[in-house]
Amino acid sequence: MLFMAEMTVRIPHDLDPQVAEKLKANEKALSQQLQREGKWRHLWRVAGKYANVSIFDVRDNDELHTLLMSLPLYPYMEISVTALAQHSSAIAQN
C-alpha cells in the first residue's frame, strides 16, 4: 500500500546539541536503509522548513505505524498520513 506522509520536525531548543546531532545521524541512516529496501519510495524536502513529504510502500497501516514510530526523530515530529490509490487517468502504473 502507498502512503504519503508529511513530516515536520520540531527539535526542542534546549535539547543537548550532541544528542540532536546523534538523532539526526541515526535518522539519516535508517531513512536510507528503508529507501534501499523499497519501503521509503520517495523523500522530498519542503523548501524553507525542517519538513519533508515522503511516499511509503508498505504492507498495511500497522507496518507504516511501526516504521514511523521507529524513526529516531519521531518524538519530535508532527506527521500527517494520507493513503494513496492509483488514479485511473495516470499514465504510469506503480
* 93 inside domain: no
Interval 58-72 mean pLDDT: 98
* 94 inside domain: no
When pLDDT is cut at 50, 70 and 90, the band that residue 92 belongs to is: confident
Q: What is the pLDDT of residues 10-25, one digit of tens each?
A: 999 999 999 999 999 9
* 90 inside domain: no
For the chain, the domain total comes to 1
* 26 inside domain: yes
Give the pLDDT score at 94: 56
Pick from 28, 14, 1, 16: which is nearest to 86 by CA? 1
One-letter amino acid at 64 equals L
* 62 inside domain: yes
Q: What is the pLDDT of residues 47-61, one digit of tens each?
A: 999 999 999 999 999
Domain containing residue 31: 2-84
Contacts of 63 (CB under 8 A, 6+ apart): none
Quick check: 74 pLDDT over 90? yes
CATH code, domain with 53: 3.30.70.1060
DSSP string for 35-77: HHTTSEEEEEEPTTSSEEEEEEE-SSHHHHHHHHHHSTTGGGE
Main-chain dihedrals φ then ψ at residue 12, nearest 5 degrees? -60, 140
Q: What is the pLDDT of residues 23-43, one digit of tens each?
A: 999 999 999 999 999 999 999
Quick check: 93 pLDDT over 70? no
